[in-house]
Amino acid sequence: MVKISQIVYTRPDKEQVLAQLADFKRRFDGARSVGEFYSVHEDYKRYSEALDTNMRIAFIRFTQDTRNEFYAAEQDYLDEISPEIAVANAEVVKCYLTTPFREQLQQRFPKVMFVNLQMAVDASDPRLVPYQIEENKLTTQYSKLLSGIVIDFDGEKLPMSGISKYFTVSDRALRKRAYTAWGQAIEDNAAELDDIYDKLVKVRTAMGRAVGLQNYSPLGYKRMQRNCYDKQDIAKFRANVLKYLVPLASKIRAKVGRDLHLGRQYLYDNSVYTAVEPKPIGTPEQMFAAASRMYNAMSPQTGELFDKMVASECFDVMSRQGKEGGGYCEGLPAYKLPFIFSNWNGSAGDVDVLTHEFGHALEFYKSFFIDSEFLSSVSMETAEVHSMSMEFLAYPWIDLFFGEQTPEYKFTHIGGAVTFIPYGTIVDCFQQTCYDNPDMTPAQRNELYNKLEHEFLPHMNTEGLPAFQDGRRWQRQAHIYQSPFYYIDYCFAQFTALQFLALSQQDYKATFDKYIKFLDYGGTKTFTELLQACDLLSPFEEESFKLVVASCEKLLGL
């Protein structure tokens, strides 16, 4: 059995990669039958999976220690060459769109694949290459800046991700000091954070205009594979969040305020829902043993995958200096292995991220066996349904992690899911506005963020907190810098996951089977088609909000 640490990384030679891709294009164009085309397809798939795996290994090892000079240099190199490779690869995938055998291909591959390939081709215009190189450099600069920050706090030297373990403690004064230190770290780097984002907005705007668009937004939608909804649909969702979910979130926070005697609530109260902070019990090793027990009880396929990932060292979960913040799941298709990265800090979030990322891992694993996935993977909001729903489907075994504090955990988790959606809507609206108005100054962006927070989070205050009171909370949200327009996906997914939660209270087995059905489709359907196929509610319809709110109020006892 292969172990992640034993996988050998080899720097890809740009010229060799470009030559190989050009050869694939030549072979596709020269195919004299659909059978010959499929033969080239198989070779191209194997090559693409090997190249993709190799580059992902470099990324994983860079994020594991951003101070590692070798992998930092490799990441810089890959940032430099990847836009040119993407353009060359787009020329290859065009063959699937222009081949005289397309009608036969459409009988083998799903319709959405061709839609997505066209979007990918449009987003890989050769004119974008110099801008993408600069974009990659700036996002890596942001990553290095944030991961290099060390916060001195009560005798500890903590990375940005590490101090968040104090955000959920019951000691309010300690929470305030932790948020103050966190905000001060952002404030101390404000000039560089402003400069990086300002340059990113400008370079992305230039990208849009380079291909004849007014600004970056339409190009950003294509890069995010928006294949079944548009800006107007998102605006409808945002309006319904304001109408239905903001009042629900405020009602949840009001209950918390009464129960905990908080009075006026501040940002540092935002992650606290119960008098006693629910924390996972046991050592990391014991938590992994509990997770194995849970996933083996959940289903044979979840248990087999989890144990296989543990044996293959597919988890890096502990926070440490030099390690990039946050969490992710990467797929390594050449080895049919998912890899989970996170930053445990002793809070309930450790369990959240374990179950969340395992939902991604399960989808990655299933996708390795779907022929079209390397050409057109699942869209992001669909992928997040996989992960967020898994958090709720873990509930029958969640006492293995929280023991007597399980009720507190569930209230915190469900309450957090509901109150997250208004925050996620802020992030998306902020990004949309910034790219629709690229000449905004850094100060105007901060003013915008403050305005949105007051509108969508009326129960929360940031007064007296460095950086946050000036509208800089967004600068800690890596997606805004690294993955523009990637956040509303979380909102749609959370909304859908709350439906899975409600259904699981009625019939767990039927709901789990529906969840597996949702995963089994992979990227063969769009998000809205998947909802319809699995008999789930659409986040673009007002009636769905009424039903979700009623269900959540019942679950939360409001």
Considering the chain, what is the average pLDDT of its residues? 94
| Integer Cα distance of 237 and 224 in angstroms | 18
| Integer Cα distance of 469 and 535 in angstroms | 43
Closest CA to 169 of 319, 282, 278, 283: 278
Print the SS3 string covering 393-416.
Answer: HCHHHCHHHHHHHHHHHHHHHHHH
62-107 pLDDT tens trace: 999 989 999 999 999 998 999 899 989 989 999 999 999 999 999 9
The pair of three-digit structure tokens given for residue 136, joined into one six-digit string: 């990659």
In the chain, how many domains are there? 1
Token pair 């939660």 is found at 501
State residue 377's pLDDT score: 83
| Integer Cα distance of 537 and 18 in angstroms | 44
459-518 pLDDT tens trace: 999 999 999 999 999 999 999 999 999 999 999 999 999 999 989 988 999 999 999 999
Q: Please check the confidence at residue 325 and state whether its pLDDT lies above 90.
A: no
In-domain check, residue 246: no
Neighbours of 152 (CB within 10 A): 10
Closest CA to 28 of 101, 85, 123: 101
| Integer Cα distance of 399 and 405 in angstroms | 8
Q: Considering only 24-28, 118-122, 423-427, which range has the smallest mean pLDDT?
A: 118-122
Q: Is the sign of the CA dihedral 487, 489, 495, 500 positive or negative?
A: negative
CB-CB contact of 549 with 512 (8 Å): no
**C-alpha distances in angstroms, 339 versus 4, 394, 401?**
8, 20, 22
pLDDT-based confidence at residue 165 (cuts at 50, 70, 90) = confident
Token pair 């294949």 is found at 227
Q: Please check the confidence at residue 525 and state whether its pLDDT lies above 90.
A: yes
> What would you measure as the largest C-alpha separation in the chain, in angstroms?
76
Amino acid (one-letter) located at 3:
K
CA angle, 552 then 486 then 74, to 5°: 135
In-domain check, residue 254: no
In-domain check, residue 270: no
Print the SS3 string covering 44-86.
Answer: HHHHHHHHHHHHHHHHHHHHHCCCCHHHHHHHHHHHHHHHHHH
pLDDT-based confidence at residue 170 (cuts at 50, 70, 90) = confident
In-domain check, residue 189: no
Which residues have a Cβ under 8 Å from the Cβ of 295 and sit 6 or more positions away?
Answer: 302, 303, 305, 306, 307, 358
**C-alpha distances in angstroms, 185 versus 189, 466, 473, 480?**
7, 9, 11, 18
Q: Please check the confidence at residue 264 and state whether its pLDDT lies above 90.
A: yes
| Integer Cα distance of 487 and 423 in angstroms | 10
DSSP state of 266: B
**For helices 69-98 and 34-64, what crossing angle results, to 10°?**
160
Could you tell me how many residues make up the chain?
558
| Integer Cα distance of 260 and 95 in angstroms | 62
Q: Which domain holds residue 85?
A: 4-128
The pair of three-digit structure tokens given for residue 181, joined into one six-digit string: 């230190």
pLDDT-based confidence at residue 347 (cuts at 50, 70, 90) = confident
Helix, strand, coil share (%) of the chain residues, nearest 5: 70, 5, 25
**pTM score of the predicted model:** 0.86
Q: Which residues of 403-418 are buried (b: 16+ CB within 10 A; e: fewer)?
A: eebeebbbbbbbbbbb
In-domain check, residue 77: yes
SS3 label, residue 343: strand
In-domain check, residue 556: no
Q: Please check the confidence at residue 276 and state whether its pLDDT lies above 90.
A: no
CB-CB contact of 169 with 175 (8 Å): yes
pLDDT-based confidence at residue 519 (cuts at 50, 70, 90) = very high
Q: Please check the confidence at residue 147 and state whether its pLDDT lies above 90.
A: no
Using DSSP bridges, classify how beta strands 315-318 and 328-332 pair: parallel, antiparallel or unpaired.
unpaired
| Integer Cα distance of 470 and 453 in angstroms | 11
Percent of residues, the chain, with pLDDT higher than 70: 100
pLDDT-based confidence at residue 126 (cuts at 50, 70, 90) = confident
In-domain check, residue 32: yes
In-domain check, residue 114: yes
